[in-house]
Structure 1
Amino acid sequence: MSVSFDTRVSERGLFDALIDARSTYGAKKPILEDQERNPLSYTDLIRAAFALGRKIAGMTSPGERVGIMLPASSGAVVTFFALHAFGRIPTMMNFTAGIRNIKAACELAGVKRVLTSHRFIEQGKLHDIIDALEPITTITYLEDVRQTIGLADKVFAAAAGSFPRRFRAPTKPSDPGVILFTSGSFGAPRGVVLSQANLIANVEQIAAHIPLDPSWVMFNPLPTFHCFGLTGGVLLPLLKGMKAFEYPSPLHVKQIPPLIKDTGAAILFATDTFLNQYARNSEPDELSGLKFIVCGAEKVREETHNLIRDRFGDVPVLEGYGATEASPVIAVNKPTDNRRGTVGGLLPGVETRLEPVEGIPGGKLYVRGPNIMSGYLNADGVMEEPPGGWHDTGDVVEISHDGWIKILGRVKRFAKIGGEMVSLTAAEDIAIAVWPESRHAVIAIPDPKKGERLVLVTDRRGAETGPLLAHAKTIGAPELAVAKKVIKVTEIPVLGTGKTDYVAIMRMVEAEGGRAS
């Protein structure tokens, strides 16, 4: 099924889209701010991008893939557009991915230079990453670059700020807009090339799906190396006239709620894990001013929905669904039509098809549209395009007659037990229903008799299988969907994006399997 969408909105480059937004919403409109509380207008942002970009251009080549390793901040946004102003390709480095994955990302993308900051490396204690990257890349610190910006650079930036189309490097909408790396929830990350048209299209699709007010402030604590944080937390507000407030870490659960109130934020981007923690550490008036909250990257628990409702009143939590390969948003609920248990309605312009998966209801979801990636990076330097423009999400879903999606699980997240296909997501849901205030993850391990068996990893201290079996019986779930083995841990590991880290959990099960209850 598909919904009509005007693809002409993406027939321009990203820097031109920023220039157009300045014309639409006003050159002096404050549009970007971070914890330093020094707001930038459209013109400030464009001038800063030209000043910094001119210096970076002197160290790099046109079309070069340049690494950005920075937290969500005004500096990260300026650096992103600085590269675009001079025809370089931002390559966003996930500094939480571990040294092996970060080095692999640089080698895969051919990154010869990584832009970062002394302050960030010091505060994040990331010196080991720098030590690992220095043999294969040049590390450039933005504080050092800014010290070299002189009068001539400022005069250039002022002129370029007044006539940006004359000074910016010409690019095509089909040119790369960013290189990102998938989360690695289930294995090694992959390099994803999103075109400038992909990113702009996704912004326009979101804005066509949910009405947005340019007077709103969008609070983004999610990292810009994650597509949700980049498109939703940076490009969407900047191109649609809303002020973007960038915060460097979603982990600061005590500092974020009062700042949401202080900034007058209307929209918060988060994941279920982080939102639940913000709600528990927030005063009643600190989140109640939000128009709505958008959650992605992981399932929103009923307990989180109820917690927000009970503490902060009518603040809808809109669960959405996406993939890095889709720039990233594929579907999202609406403030006026918020259906719990779904990930929302398909964005306009997204085509879908379902392929049957033996033994599993619904079907595996394939998507196609103007927001679907140019392709994956291959080690040989050749880009692997999605066949026929279709991206295989790997998710098993049901789609309602009006385009609302319910996720049943990932194809990889099903186990075959005694010849029956069992959803690991459904097994997690049983644990969530029994112990809603705890975190749970279910994986499958080989079993010599039944093929596979389920293991529940949980931070619930008194967890045991009895209550799980009892709940499964009351809801009519098969006994096969209940984990018979429980491993208790102090904390469920998550990735920097907030997603459950199933690779780490599998290692925990392998290491602690003998101590399970």
Structure 2
Amino acid sequence: MDILTLQIPEHVNLYDEMVKQAKLHPKKVIIEDLSVALTYKKFLIAVNVMSGKLDQIVKGEKRVGIFLPNVAAQVIVLFALFKNEQQPCLLNFTMGTQNIIDCIETVSPMETVITSREFVKKADLEFVIEEMEKQVKVVYLEDVRSSITTFQKLSGLFGSRVSGLKKREQSEVILFTSGTESKPKGVILTHRNIYANIKQVFNHVALDEDRDRILNPLPLFHSFGMTVGSILPVVGNVKVFLYPSPLHYREIPKIVEKDKSTLFVATNTFFENYAKYATREQLHTLRIVVCGGEKLQKDVRDTYRDKFGIQIMEGYGATETSPIISLNTAQHHKEGTVGRLVPLMEARISKVEGVNEGGNLLLKGPNVMKGYLIHGKGFVPCGEWYNTGDIAEIDKDGYIRIISRLKRFAKIAAEMISLNKVEELALECFGESVFYAVSIPDKRRGEKIILFTTKEDVPVRKFKKFIKDKKMSLLYIPSEIKHIDEVPLLGSGKPNYWVLEKLAKKEE
């Protein structure tokens, strides 16, 4: 599709878009997990049966919580709510109890959360459910399934044959920010936002409906896991395998081989760990491999090129943009950048006082969110331009280079020092991307840098000499380098700098 002909309709319901594909490809296996493989026909029937059942359970409720792992059942519930013109609120089960309760309060009124007994037990989330039940009614999928009658099954089968006759209202999906700096914010994405991003991806990347197979281990509460890993497959006719956790480093390469996956997306941290256990044979079917969420480090990129014959492409996104903003491709890529903007997006750079390189990246486009839900305040619409909070620069060819998060700067002796740059220098000095910089208050110089690492015996003096030899500012030298056994991660796979910052302050 040419960018000149890429148009996003004003009215979109993702259930209706899925039905169009199901009618065209009823026998194609479109979604699979560890226990089930569903053709479009079976998926559509399951969605219709579930929508009828949920219409009884949560009838009249505008927002419905989903608290489920990355399995086909969650996608069925998601599309059942789309059909019922309700708003799914995808709760992040890795957040911790208080943050989850904050999320529920943020989207109030929300009366019901759908979960699974088996999931709650396996994930040891009983206490979270106890606290949740003080706020909402908890409905278990096992009970929903067992109460489905023969008549409802027949209704679902009949409904699958006449689906699409009704034009449904455009609805919304609510995801949540991580809540590491304040209470989590609800991000409102319309069906049109998500559909636009799917169309942008198809225009930007050469996906083949017959050939490509997506492996998605990212949870649906993560915007990439939801849009590209769950909705794009069934709306765009690209088969997906859902795996319940990205942390199973030994198992995921085996799934790639078994499924013959061709498209795989993960963070730098996840890629680094998969490489420890994967073989070249296991990954040989992969043709589109994308790193997002955090910077792709040189050692990880080189490992995949040399060990597996794979070129990892770097991309960039945000929950607020449904999520994909830019992406390197096989045809158009530039090392050290996150690629060019996807079609129909615009960007501009806003100068930031004290930051000499690049500026604040602002964006607009059809995939940019409707707005935020703020705890205790309610809905705040997104302005004309979405402020990413990322310091970036755009070269003459349109390639975007992310320099740092605006919040990932330390102000030392009145100078703005990029914590990302400190990590890059440590990688260059010691040859491994296992360094994580945070800043904490310092009475003498305003702030100071603490560098955490999983590498044993890293001397500050060696790093200091390295920075001096490069003739760089001595402000990049951390006050301390601390060893940790394991890097704390967010559910998305990004390093949890908030936990590291708390640890640094605690040890002061």
Place the TM-score, normalised by the shorter chain, in its bin. Answer: over 0.9
Closer, same or farther: CA 485–135 of 1 in aligned 2, 3 Å: same
What does 1:121-136 correspond to in 2, within 5 Å? 121-136=120-135
- Where structure 1 has 5 or more consecutive residues not aligned to the other structure, the ranges are none
1:209 aligns with 204
1:15 and 2:22 equivalent?
no
Cα separation, 2, equivalents of 1:399 and 1:145: 51
Query: C-alpha separation between the residues in 1 aligned to 2:430 and 2:127?
Result: 38
2:286 to 279, 290, 307: 290
Aligned counterparts, 1:99-248, within 5 A: 99-110=97-108, 111-166=110-165, 170-172=168-170, 175-176=171-172, 178-215=173-210, 216-248=212-244
Letter in 1 for 2:92: N
Alpha carbons 1:221, 1:246 under 8 Å: kept: yes
| Count of matched residue positions in the alignment of Structure 1 and Structure 2 | 503
Query: Deviation digits for residues 54-98 of structure 1, max 9, x if unmatched?
Result: 111111134521111111111111110011111111110100000
Equivalent-residue separation in structure 2 for 1:154 and 1:488 (angstroms): 57
Q: State TM-score, norm by structure 1.
A: 0.94
Q: Distance in 1 between matches of 2:69 and 2:16?
A: 25
Partner AA of 2:306 in structure 1: D
Offset, 1:249? 0.4
Match of 1:252 in 2: 248
Q: d(CA) in 1 for partners of 2:10 and 2:157?
A: 28
The amino acid that maps onto 2:191 is: Q
**Which residue matches 1:72?**
70
Q: Does residue 461 of structure 1 match 2:459?
A: no
Given the alignment, which residue of 344, 347, 356 partners 1:349? 344
Alpha-carbon distance, 1:477 to partner: 3.0
Extract structure 1 runs of 4+ deviating beyond 4 A: none
Structure 1 position 467, deviation (Å): 2.4
- CA distances 1:79-123 after superposition (whole Å, capped 9, x unpaired): 100111111111101000000000010111122211111111111
- In structure 2, what is the Cα distance between the partners aligned to 1:126 and 1:63? 25
Among 467, 488, 512, the alignment partner of 2:507 is 512
Q: Secondary structure at the match of 1:387?
A: coil
Q: For structure 2, list consecutive stretches of 5 or more residues without a partner in the other structure.
A: none
Partner residue, 2:85 = 87
C-alpha distance in structure 2 between counterparts of 1:31 and 1:185, whole Å = 36
Q: CA contact under 8 A between 1:101 and 1:188: conserved in structure 2?
A: yes
Give me the whole-angstrom Cα distance separating, in 2, the residues matched to 1:381 and 1:86: 27
Deviation of 1:359 (Å): 2.1
Structure-2 separation of matches of 1:73 and 1:393:
31
The amino acid that maps onto 1:16 is D
1:484 aligns with: 479
Question: For residue 47 of structure 1, what is the aligned residue in structure 2?
Answer: 45
Is contact 1:7-1:370 (8 Å) kept? no
Report the 3-state secondary structure (helix = DSSP H, G, I; strand = E; otherwise coil) of the residue aligned with 1:155: helix
The one-letter amino acid paired with 1:61 is K
**What is the Cα deviation at residue 169 of structure 1?**
7.3
Corresponding letter in the other structure for 1:31: I
- Aligned pairs for 1:319-330 within 5 A: 319-330=314-325
Distance 2:191 2:250 in 1: 36
Deviation string 1:8-62 (CA, Å, 9 cap, x unpaired) is 35642111111122245x12211000011x2111121111011011111111134
Matched with 1:433 is 428
Q: Is the partner of 1:171 in helix, strand or coil?
A: coil
Amino acid of the residue matched to residue 125 of structure 1?
D
Using a 3 Å threshold, how does the CA distance of structure 1 residues 507 and 5 change in structure 2: closer, same or farther? Answer: farther
Letter in 2 for 1:208: N
**2:501 matches 1:503:** no
Contact 1:472 1:479 in 2 (8 A): yes
Asked if the contact 2:257–2:282 (Cα under 8 Å) also holds between the matched residues in 1, the reply is: yes
> Hey, what does 2:306 align to over in structure 1?
310
Structure 1 vs Structure 2: percent identity of aligned residues? 35
Counterparts in 2 of 1:252 and 1:375: CA distance versus 1, 3 Å: same
Kept after mapping to 2: 8 A contact 1:219/1:233:
yes
